[in-house]
Amino acid sequence: MVINRAAQLDLVFGALSDPTRRGMLETLSGGAVNIRTLAAPFKMSQPAISRHLRVLEEAGLVRRQKRGREHHISVNSQAAEQARDWIAHYTRFWKQQFDAVEEYLNKQEQKNHVE
């Protein structure tokens, strides 16, 4: 492993920020497929698909096995779990903060009504 944890998160979140790539991952929920199957739902050139796939691969979200002339793509859940865990970790604190601010704002609201 060359790149650090933060850089890995950059790649994973970056990969997830595109709807085509999220669509591909959704397709992969059903199991490993070849690339032309992955490409089917999108009206976009084959090279474009190829590059989206590379982004997913570089983020560690999928892996590829060449099987003859076809490439079988499968999902690597670990990279996604890392991203999920980053969010989940902070969500605990954020939710507290969020609720505190909500409460504060509600109080302000009430004050305004009284004034």
Partner DNA sequence: TTAATATATAACCATATGGTTATCAATCGT
Partner DNA sequence: ACGATTGATAACCATATGGTTATATATTAA
Residue 55, interface with DNA (CB under 7 A)? yes
CB 17 within 8 A of CB 35: no
> Judged by CB under 8 A, which of 43, 68, 93, 114 binds a second copy?
93
The CA–CA distances, whole Å, from 80 to 23, 67, 83, 86 equal 14, 25, 5, 10
Extract the tokens encoding 40: 């089917």
By CB under 7 A, the residues from 3 to 42 that bind DNA are 14, 17-18, 20, 34-36
Q: Give the torsion sign (CA, 104, 105, 110, 111).
A: positive
| Residue 111 interacting entry, from a second copy, DNA, none, C-beta within 5 to 8 Å by type | none
SS3 content of the chain, % helix, strand, coil (to 5): 70, 10, 20
Residue 88, interface with a second copy (CB under 8 A)? yes
Q: Which residues bind DNA (CB under 7 A)?
A: 14, 17-18, 20, 34-36, 43-55, 64, 68-71
Q: Which residues bind a second copy (CB under 8 A)?
A: 6-7, 9-11, 13-14, 16-19, 22, 25-26, 28-32, 74-78, 80-81, 83-84, 86-88, 90-91, 93-95, 97-98, 100-101
